[in-house]
Amino acid sequence: MLNVSGLTKRFGGFTALEAVDFTLLPGEVHALLGENGAGKSTLINAICGTFPPSEGNVQLDGRSLLDLSPLRVREVGVAPVFQEFSLAPALSVLDNLFLGREATRGPFLRRGEMRREAEALLSRIGFSLPLDEKVSRLSRAQKQMVEIAKALRLSPKILILDEPTASLTDGEAEKLFEAVARLKAQGVGILYVSHRMAEIRRLSDRVTVLRGGRLIATVHTADVTDAELIEMMVGRPVDELFPEIHNSPGAPALRVSDLSTATGSIRAASIEARKGEVIGLAGLVGCGRSELCRAIFGLEDISSGEVVLGETPVAKPRPDRMIAAGICYFPGDRAAEGLALNRPARENVSMAGLRLRKLSRGGLLRAGAEPEVVAGPLDKLGLRPMMPERRAGAFSGGNQQKVMLARGLVDDFDVYLFDEPTVGIDVGAKTDVYRFIKQLAESGACVIVSTSELPELLHLSDRIYVMAGGAVVQEIARDEASETAILSHYFGE
Amino acid sequence: MSVTTDNPAPAGPSRLEGFLVNGGVVLVLLVLVVAVSAAVEPRFLNKLNLMNMGRNFAFLAIPALAQMLVMTTGGFDLSLGAVVASGSVVSALVMRSMGADLPEAGVAPVLAALAAALALGLAIGAFNGWLVARFNISAFMVTLATASAIVGVVLFQTQGIPIYGVSEGFIDLIGRGRIGPVPYVALIALALVALGIVMQRGTRFGRHIYAVGSDARAALLSGVPRAKVLIATYALAGALAGVTGFLMTARLGSGQGTIAETLAMQTIAAAVIGGVSLRGGVARAELVALAALFLTVMANAMNLMRIDSKFQTLVLGLVLLGALALERLVLREKTE
Amino acid sequence: MTDVMTRRSAPALADRLKPFSLPLGIVALLLVFALIEPRVISGANLRNIALQTSFLAIFAAAQCVVLLTRGFDLSLGVTVSLVSVGAGMAMTSAGVAAGLAAGCGIALAVGLFNGLLIGAIGINAFVATLGTSYVVMALASTLSGGFPVAPLPPAFNAIFAQGSLFGIRAAIWVALIVLLAIGLMLRFTTLGRRLYLVGASARAATAAGIRPAAVLIAAYAICGLLAGIGALLLTARTGSGEPNLGGNLTLESIAAAVVGGAKLTGGEGGISSALLGALFITVLSNGMNLVQVDGYIQQVFLGAIIVLSLILGRDGARR
């Protein structure tokens, strides 16, 4: 049904996708597997018409999709559900479901009809959503469900699901799987992107593995083991990806006790971290682990509880004070919160250290010294290309991440908080980030890593705290840690 | 219907927040101003004064609706005042050239004048919308520039002198006409507000305006024609401003190029006090009308009490800042 | 991150010429006017252009500072009026020095007020300064009773309007010093750096320990102070404290900054946009005056120029 052949996509000098073939049959669930940066989103985007490929062809039922706008591609039967939502937050769920395709009589909306149709649709796919609530008031999982329902409303031939369960609970995911099964039975082809082996195994008929923009293999799911799939994805046995960290837990560096935030995103969370230790924070997106990092750093209002840095309690964390006190925070959303994208890399590196004597005296910048101050950290992290005067936004994802991380080396910090440190970066950059974490921990700093990647948790951390619903539900020591041990606590039991 | 998740939706608005959001503050202030004025100044509830307020309300509420539409898409229209002035001048010019003050002219010149004011407003608005949509440039700067250009043309044409020769019948009917105690222009304004509500709540175009202002990318991916919606919105706003100019000509008995110099700013104030979000996507016509009514009544009360016009400006500024500060401090949004 | 990479694929010739397009445009404009009316490039008129530019450049510089932070100041014009009246009154009663101090103090106070509304409370800059402008307008007309404050001490006019050093008028000197100071501040101080960073991304700046509130307050205070300095120079020139001195200055200053290349999206640009934009607009209106274009029609040209420069200067084309 869907036939992709020889697809190549270059961005400037960078080849994101090289001669990839891909087919999707009616009534098939075809999983797309690959690390971040492997080319999965480029492939999906090329199919959806977001950007035209440099070479190759995309055909649906023999008809080329290449010259169609994203909107037309959707109209001919391709329904993508991205992680980034295409919902208007100020409108209600009902309005969003029908946005752009409202049922009307003349210029007027036929609300009754839309409501009936929406209810029928939701009961067909087994989702339960408040139709009159504004989308901005929904949880992430609910938004995800609206997005999926919206895509299904058009009875597509092909459904593309990009990590659809990343923010769903087990129960919700189960509903989604049932919906997928029903659609499959109806002959819809489903392109399913996920990291989770269990899902891939349960749902998919075939798996295509991408790595570094190249097609590694397309196999029948039943014919391969999980380990084989992972090795295809990573390109080497998993153990080689992660450096061995020789840690020596020392004095307490950070203690959080009974911390709750004003928004309720964290409830009475307590953790403890020592110098020279890597602590993993595990949990679903929205479980509160990102918010915990933010609250410690002073970016979320704390309603009760205590943050103790070394031996000193911090009354009211505030980013500038926490930096001065020795905490460095790397946000998970690099583009929105990590970097000033239209400023040079140099300024982004020195941003958190402007008060330091090596960068300024009495409010005057030491403009002459600055390039040298930032060169060391950037060199150590291996920025490529090494062009500190270039706009931060002009670098690839992995190198943007390095620009942000370089901040941590401009000053001496005792505690490093990483939120999703490897989101959207390629394998090479990932190993650089892991090496960075290793160096920090081995030089005696305390490192806290909040991540949704299980392998990172398992290979990097000495201890893991699992969070669910804003609370810390379990602490797991390194030798007890396993994928199942962590996952079993994701839903709070 | 509800969904249980490990990540509950943000709690619904508290009653206080709900009240504030739904124009409660403006309503309370309005009642307060009315009560105090009625107690202190007997002339306030005088029939003539009420009619006067009704007319003034119309001349603020109609362009405020226009401003609201544009702001719903996340923009601004600073050229509304200039369009009102050009609408006034054009309708007077058309009537004069058709000999509207002659008894035998009939209604044709008046209708022609209305059509001309509408068409001019529509054209200017569509041009604004096209610039904003096609070149993706700031609505603020675009409409600032077109405002400058329109005012230039209008004043060049009139040299700042009012244009007479407007039909007496027209002035009598539209400018002074009323049903019982309610002036026609106030009725027209109310009708337009009602239309606005229907459009926002019940039409596809209304949904699309919200969608474009709420998340332009999402709207585009859902098949909402962003450019068309923007152009239509600005055009509609321009048309409303053109009509306002036409009605003002009826009220003043002449076309004037210098009316409405500060109107654009006043409409923005009314919209903001009426709860329209500057980030787009949030607006309700009835609340904007309420805010326009409040501003009109307040200005009228202060006039009656012989409060200096400078002081009135001060009060307007403080009310605007107060409303904004209240919105930020009480409803401080958790997400930026 | 991927679409960003396409941008640098072809560093087009047009992009490289961009920085020179405005200076060239100014020269071209002068030459065109000179062809119609040779007096345009007479020494007297060029000196006149320099003088006119210096006032506008100061106000445009004020806007540039807040534009950098993604804001702007709609109360600039009325601040100029208020400073003119306030300084005039202080001057008539307590002398020139007191007048200067009062003028700067008032301007700073208005700026701080804006800064608090925008930085500390978090109100949108557009409506916050709109609200302030109503308040300030009322103060200016109340203080003055609507009449000019006159006569001012003759020394004020003699020094700040007629005075010159090395044959260059006081106003030009002041403008040069102001532009230089702001330029150096932006480039070589931590405050300058923070202005850029907060404008580029307030959230990223916050996460890096910069407090946007403080930076915004400083930005609007500077903006107010510059408006005050410009207002004092204008007052010296008119010789009286004028309650309507600000007139169209708000819009002209924003137009000058934007025509000069300042971006409404914040975090980019520098002080050169204030100078170039002010020069361009001054040359344009001076030339149109000399070739006797109707004053109202000049407004039409101004509007067209603003739209044109927005279209030419936008980033949208590359996105």
Contact B276, C127 (CB under 8 A): no
Q: Cβ of A340 and C194 within 8 Å?
A: no
CA distance C256 to C252: 6
Give me the torsion for CA of A72, A74, A78, A81, rounded to 10°. 140
Locus of tokens 């959707």: A74
* 3-state SS record for B195-250: HHHHHHHHEHHHHHHHHHHHCHHHHHHCCCCHHHHHHHHHHHHHHHHHHHHHHHHH
The string of pLDDT tens digits covering residues A401-413 is 889 999 988 888 8
Is A204 strand, coil or helix?
coil
CA distance A25 to A30: 8
CA distance C257 to C267: 14
Contacts of A99 in chain B (CB under 8 A): 207, 211, 218-219, 222-224
Contacts of C11 (CB under 8 A, 6+ apart): none
Question: Among all residues of chain C, which has the CA nearest to that of B257?
Answer: C296
CA distance C246 to C141: 12
Q: Which residues pair with A419 in a beta bridge?
A: A450
Compute how many other C-beta atoms are within 10 angstroms of the C-beta atom of residue C161.
19
Contacts of C302 in chain B (CB under 8 A): 145, 148-149, 152
E strand or H helix at A252: strand A252-261
Contact A26, A187 (CB under 8 A): yes
pLDDT tens per residue across all 493 residues of chain A: 888 888 888 876 677 788 888 889 888 999 988 876 678 888 888 888 878 888 888 888 888 888 888 888 888 888 888 877 788 888 889 888 888 878 878 788 888 888 888 888 888 777 778 888 888 888 777 888 888 888 888 888 898 988 887 666 667 777 788 888 888 888 889 999 876 777 888 888 999 988 878 888 888 988 888 778 877 877 766 666 788 888 788 888 899 999 998 888 889 999 999 998 999 998 877 788 989 999 999 898 888 899 998 888 888 889 998 998 889 999 988 888 889 888 899 999 989 888 888 888 888 888 888 888 889 888 888 887 888 888 888 887 788 888 999 998 888 889 999 998 887 676 677 888 888 999 898 888 999 999 888 888 888 898 999 998 888 888 888 888 887 888 888 776 5
Residues B28-36, mean pLDDT to the nearest whole number: 87
pLDDT at B196: 93
Please enumerate residues of A whose Cβ is less than 8 A from a Cβ of C.
11-14, 16, 42, 51, 297, 299, 319-320, 322-324, 329, 331, 335-343, 347-348, 351-352, 354-355, 359-360, 363-365, 367, 393-397, 400, 407, 424
Is the predicted pLDDT of residue B64 greater than 70, yes or no? Answer: yes
CA distance C125 to C118: 6
Locus of tokens 């915990």: A292
Please enumerate residues of C whose Cβ is less than 8 A from a Cβ of B.
117, 121-124, 126-128, 130-139, 141-142, 202-203, 251, 254-255, 258, 264, 294, 296-300, 302-304, 306-307, 310-311, 314, 316, 319
pLDDT at B158: 85
Domains, chain C: 42-309 (1.10.3470)
Question: Among all residues of chain A, which has the CA nearest to that of C188?
Answer: A365
Contacts of C123 in chain B (CB under 8 A): 321, 324-325, 328
pLDDT at B21: 60
Residues B6-21, mean pLDDT to the nearest whole number: 49
pLDDT at B15: 55
Tokens of B57: 């309300």
CB of B135 less than 8 A from some CB of C: yes
Q: Which residue has the higher pLDDT, C146 or A456?
A: A456
E strand or H helix at A462: none
Nearest one of C264, C273, C182 to C219, comparing CA atoms: C182
Binned at pLDDT 50, 70 and 90, residue B9 comes out as: very low
Q: Cβ of B217 and A138 within 8 Å?
A: no
Tokens of A491: 């839903």
pLDDT at B4: 36
Residues C86-111, mean pLDDT to the nearest whole number: 89
The string of pLDDT tens digits covering residues B142-159 is 998 899 899 889 888 888
Q: List chains touching A (3+ CB pairs under 8 A).
A: B, C
Binned at pLDDT 50, 70 and 90, residue B3 comes out as: very low
Contacts of B147 in chain C (CB under 8 A): 303
Stated pTM of the model: 0.83
Binned at pLDDT 50, 70 and 90, residue C292 comes out as: confident
Residues 251-310, chain B, touching C (beta carbon < 8 A): 265, 268-269, 272, 278, 308, 310
Nearest one of A110, A179, A109 to A144, comparing CA atoms: A179
Contact A412, A326 (CB under 8 A): yes
Considering CB atoms only, which of A338, A365, A395 is closest to C204?
A338
Q: Rounded to 5 degrees, what are φ and ψ at A17?
A: -150, 130
Residue type, C315: D
Output the CA–CA distances (angstroms, integers) from residue C27 to A86, C30, C34, C45, C274, in the order listed. Answer: 48, 5, 10, 15, 17
Where do the domains of chain B lie? 13-335
What are the b/e assignments for B120-131, b being 16+ CB within 10 Å? bbbebbbbbbbb
Tokens of A52: 């035209």
CA distance B136 to B140: 12
E strand or H helix at A370: helix A370-381
Contact B214, B73 (CB under 8 A): no
Residues B110, B116, B119, CA angle at the centre, nearest 5°? 140
Compute how many other C-beta atoms are within 10 angstroms of the C-beta atom of residue A431.
15
Output the CA–CA distances (angstroms, integers) from residue A142 to A18, A129, A149, B5, C123, in the order listed. Answer: 36, 7, 10, 9, 31
pLDDT at A330: 92
pLDDT at B10: 41
Considering CB atoms only, which of B207, B214, B219 is closest to A102?
B207
Contacts of A400 in chain C (CB under 8 A): 1
The string of pLDDT tens digits covering residues C17-52 is 666 778 888 888 888 888 888 887 888 888 888 888
Tokens of A235: 């390109």
pLDDT at C255: 87
**Interface mutation vs chain C, best among B71, B137, B158, most C CBs within 10 Å:** B137
Locus of tokens 């000399």: C290
Question: Among all residues of chain A, which has the CA nearest to that of B277?
Answer: A90
CA distance C59 to B181: 50
pLDDT at A37: 66
Q: Cβ of A88 and B210 within 8 Å?
A: yes
Considering CB atoms only, which of C5, C204, C211 is closest to A12?
C5
Contact A127, A175 (CB under 8 A): yes
Output the CA–CA distances (angstroms, integers) from residue B312 to A454, B26, B156, B296, C275, in the order listed. Answer: 64, 17, 31, 11, 37
Binned at pLDDT 50, 70 and 90, residue B20 comes out as: low
CATH annotation of B13-335: 1.10.3470
Q: Over the Cα atoms of chain A, what is R_g? A: 24
CA distance A93 to A150: 10
Binned at pLDDT 50, 70 and 90, residue C2 comes out as: very low
Contacts of A376 (CB under 8 A, 6+ apart): A409
